[in-house]
A and B are shown apart, each in its own frame.
Chain A
Amino acid sequence: MSDANSRIDEIVKNNQVVLFMKGTPLFPQCGFSSRAITILEHLGTPFESVDVLQDPEIRQGIKEYSDWPTIPQLYVNGEFVGGSDIMLEMFQSGELQQLVGAPASETGA
Protein backbone atom coordinates (compact mmCIF):
# COMPACT_ATOMS: atom_id res chain seq x y z
CA MET A 1 0.00 0.00 0.00
CA SER A 2 1.45 3.38 -0.97
CA ASP A 3 1.81 6.14 1.58
CA ALA A 4 -1.07 8.15 0.12
CA ASN A 5 -3.22 5.07 0.05
CA SER A 6 -2.67 4.24 3.72
CA ARG A 7 -3.23 7.87 4.72
CA ILE A 8 -6.53 7.89 2.82
CA ASP A 9 -7.50 4.57 4.32
CA GLU A 10 -6.91 5.94 7.79
CA ILE A 11 -9.05 9.04 7.14
CA VAL A 12 -11.86 6.96 5.66
CA LYS A 13 -11.85 4.43 8.48
CA ASN A 14 -11.62 6.99 11.28
CA ASN A 15 -14.46 9.25 10.20
CA GLN A 16 -18.05 8.14 9.96
CA VAL A 17 -18.84 10.71 7.28
CA VAL A 18 -16.03 12.28 5.27
CA LEU A 19 -16.03 14.30 2.06
CA PHE A 20 -12.94 14.68 -0.11
CA MET A 21 -13.49 17.99 -1.87
CA LYS A 22 -11.92 20.96 -3.62
CA GLY A 23 -11.75 23.81 -1.12
CA THR A 24 -13.41 23.97 2.28
CA PRO A 25 -17.05 23.79 3.39
CA LEU A 26 -17.04 27.59 3.75
CA PHE A 27 -15.22 28.17 0.46
CA PRO A 28 -15.76 25.31 -1.97
CA GLN A 29 -13.59 25.77 -5.07
CA CYS A 30 -15.78 23.87 -7.51
CA GLY A 31 -19.50 23.68 -8.26
CA PHE A 32 -19.67 19.96 -7.64
CA SER A 33 -17.96 20.23 -4.25
CA SER A 34 -20.28 23.09 -3.39
CA ARG A 35 -23.30 20.96 -4.24
CA ALA A 36 -21.99 18.11 -2.08
CA ILE A 37 -21.57 20.47 0.89
CA THR A 38 -25.09 21.84 0.45
CA ILE A 39 -26.46 18.31 0.62
CA LEU A 40 -24.44 17.42 3.74
CA GLU A 41 -25.57 20.64 5.44
CA HIS A 42 -29.18 19.79 4.66
CA LEU A 43 -28.65 16.41 6.31
CA GLY A 44 -27.40 18.18 9.40
CA THR A 45 -25.04 15.32 10.13
CA PRO A 46 -21.54 16.05 11.45
CA PHE A 47 -18.92 15.41 8.79
CA GLU A 48 -15.22 15.74 8.20
CA SER A 49 -13.85 17.29 5.00
CA VAL A 50 -10.49 17.00 3.28
CA ASP A 51 -9.35 19.71 0.86
CA VAL A 52 -7.53 17.82 -1.89
CA LEU A 53 -6.18 21.10 -3.33
CA GLN A 54 -3.92 21.30 -0.28
CA ASP A 55 -2.43 17.88 -0.91
CA PRO A 56 -1.50 16.71 -4.43
CA GLU A 57 -0.74 13.21 -3.16
CA ILE A 58 -4.25 12.79 -1.73
CA ARG A 59 -5.77 14.46 -4.78
CA GLN A 60 -4.31 11.81 -7.07
CA GLY A 61 -4.44 8.97 -4.54
CA ILE A 62 -8.15 9.27 -3.80
CA LYS A 63 -8.99 8.62 -7.45
CA GLU A 64 -7.09 5.35 -7.36
CA TYR A 65 -8.40 4.43 -3.92
CA SER A 66 -12.01 4.36 -5.13
CA ASP A 67 -11.45 3.85 -8.88
CA TRP A 68 -13.40 7.07 -9.33
CA PRO A 69 -12.02 9.84 -11.57
CA THR A 70 -13.59 12.91 -10.01
CA ILE A 71 -13.85 14.92 -6.81
CA PRO A 72 -15.90 15.34 -4.58
CA GLN A 73 -16.12 11.85 -3.12
CA LEU A 74 -18.24 10.90 -0.12
CA TYR A 75 -17.41 8.06 2.28
CA VAL A 76 -19.77 6.83 4.98
CA ASN A 77 -18.85 4.14 7.53
CA GLY A 78 -15.65 3.39 5.63
CA GLU A 79 -17.43 2.80 2.31
CA PHE A 80 -17.29 4.87 -0.87
CA VAL A 81 -20.78 6.23 -1.56
CA GLY A 82 -20.25 8.26 -4.74
CA GLY A 83 -19.78 11.73 -6.19
CA SER A 84 -22.19 14.67 -6.07
CA ASP A 85 -24.60 13.27 -8.68
CA ILE A 86 -25.12 10.09 -6.67
CA MET A 87 -25.34 12.11 -3.45
CA LEU A 88 -28.13 14.22 -4.95
CA GLU A 89 -30.06 11.20 -6.23
CA MET A 90 -29.73 9.45 -2.87
CA PHE A 91 -30.71 12.61 -0.99
CA GLN A 92 -33.83 13.02 -3.12
CA SER A 93 -34.83 9.40 -2.59
CA GLY A 94 -34.13 9.56 1.16
CA GLU A 95 -31.42 6.87 0.97
CA LEU A 96 -28.66 9.21 2.05
CA GLN A 97 -30.56 10.28 5.17
CA GLN A 98 -30.96 6.62 6.03
CA LEU A 99 -27.29 5.89 5.42
CA VAL A 100 -26.03 8.60 7.76
CA GLY A 101 -28.86 8.12 10.25
CA ALA A 102 -30.38 11.56 9.74
CA PRO A 103 -34.12 12.12 9.90
CA ALA A 104 -35.60 12.19 6.37
CA SER A 105 -36.85 15.70 5.69
CA GLU A 106 -40.22 16.08 4.06
CA THR A 107 -38.82 18.27 1.31
CA GLY A 108 -35.98 15.89 0.60
CA ALA A 109 -38.14 12.82 0.10
Chain B
Amino acid sequence: MPMAASEIERLIREAIPDADVTIRDLAGDGDHYAARVVSRAFAGMPRVRQHQLVYRALGGRMGGELHALQLETAAPSGE
Protein backbone atom coordinates (compact mmCIF):
# COMPACT_ATOMS: atom_id res chain seq x y z
CA MET B 1 0.00 0.00 0.00
CA PRO B 2 1.72 3.20 -1.15
CA MET B 3 2.09 6.14 1.18
CA ALA B 4 1.57 9.79 0.25
CA ALA B 5 4.57 12.12 0.51
CA SER B 6 2.49 14.53 2.58
CA GLU B 7 1.82 11.78 5.11
CA ILE B 8 5.54 10.99 5.44
CA GLU B 9 6.26 14.66 5.96
CA ARG B 10 3.49 15.01 8.53
CA LEU B 11 4.74 12.06 10.60
CA ILE B 12 8.32 13.36 10.61
CA ARG B 13 7.22 16.88 11.61
CA GLU B 14 5.02 15.49 14.35
CA ALA B 15 8.02 13.75 15.97
CA ILE B 16 10.66 16.35 15.09
CA PRO B 17 8.81 19.70 15.16
CA ASP B 18 11.65 21.90 13.87
CA ALA B 19 12.42 19.53 10.99
CA ASP B 20 12.86 20.94 7.52
CA VAL B 21 11.59 18.07 5.35
CA THR B 22 12.09 17.77 1.60
CA ILE B 23 10.58 14.74 -0.12
CA ARG B 24 11.05 13.60 -3.70
CA ASP B 25 8.93 10.91 -5.31
CA LEU B 26 11.66 9.05 -7.20
CA ALA B 27 9.60 6.84 -9.46
CA GLY B 28 6.26 8.65 -9.49
CA ASP B 29 4.58 5.56 -8.06
CA GLY B 30 4.03 6.79 -4.50
CA ASP B 31 6.34 4.03 -3.25
CA HIS B 32 9.93 5.14 -3.85
CA TYR B 33 10.93 8.29 -2.06
CA ALA B 34 14.00 10.25 -1.11
CA ALA B 35 13.79 12.44 1.96
CA ARG B 36 16.12 15.07 3.30
CA VAL B 37 15.50 16.04 6.89
CA VAL B 38 17.30 18.95 8.55
CA SER B 39 16.85 19.52 12.26
CA ARG B 40 18.74 20.98 15.19
CA ALA B 41 17.91 17.72 16.98
CA PHE B 42 20.60 16.03 14.84
CA ALA B 43 23.46 18.26 15.96
CA GLY B 44 26.31 16.17 17.35
CA MET B 45 24.37 12.93 16.86
CA PRO B 46 25.90 9.96 14.98
CA ARG B 47 24.26 9.27 11.59
CA VAL B 48 22.78 5.97 12.72
CA ARG B 49 20.98 7.76 15.57
CA GLN B 50 19.75 10.50 13.24
CA HIS B 51 18.22 7.96 10.88
CA GLN B 52 16.77 5.96 13.77
CA LEU B 53 15.01 9.10 14.95
CA VAL B 54 13.36 9.50 11.56
CA TYR B 55 12.50 5.80 11.31
CA ARG B 56 10.93 5.98 14.74
CA ALA B 57 8.83 8.96 13.63
CA LEU B 58 7.48 6.79 10.83
CA GLY B 59 6.26 4.23 13.33
CA GLY B 60 6.51 0.67 12.03
CA ARG B 61 5.95 1.73 8.44
CA MET B 62 9.57 1.74 7.30
CA GLY B 63 10.45 -1.62 5.79
CA GLY B 64 6.75 -2.42 5.67
CA GLU B 65 4.24 -0.27 3.82
CA LEU B 66 7.06 2.12 3.02
CA HIS B 67 9.68 0.08 1.19
CA ALA B 68 11.95 2.59 -0.40
CA LEU B 69 12.96 5.74 1.37
CA GLN B 70 16.42 7.08 0.68
CA LEU B 71 17.26 9.12 3.70
CA GLU B 72 19.61 12.02 4.19
CA THR B 73 19.78 13.81 7.51
CA ALA B 74 21.71 16.86 8.65
CA ALA B 75 21.85 19.52 11.29
CA PRO B 76 21.36 23.05 9.99
CA SER B 77 24.65 24.68 9.02
CA GLY B 78 25.74 28.19 9.81
CA GLU B 79 24.00 28.49 13.18
A interface residues with partner B (beta carbon < 8 Å): 31-32, 63, 67-71, 80-83, 85-86, 89-90
Contact = CB atoms under 8 A, between A and B. Distances in A.
Interface centre among A69, A70, A82, A83 (most CB of B within 10 A): A69
Given A68-B55, A69-B62, A85 B70 contact: yes
Interface in B58-72: 60, 62-64, 68, 70-72
Chain B residues touching A, range = 10 to 19
A85 B62 CA distance: 14
Given A67-B52, A69-B55, A85 B71 contact: yes
A85 B51 contact: yes
Contacts of B63: 63, 69-71
Given A69-B62, A70-B63, A89 B48 contact: no
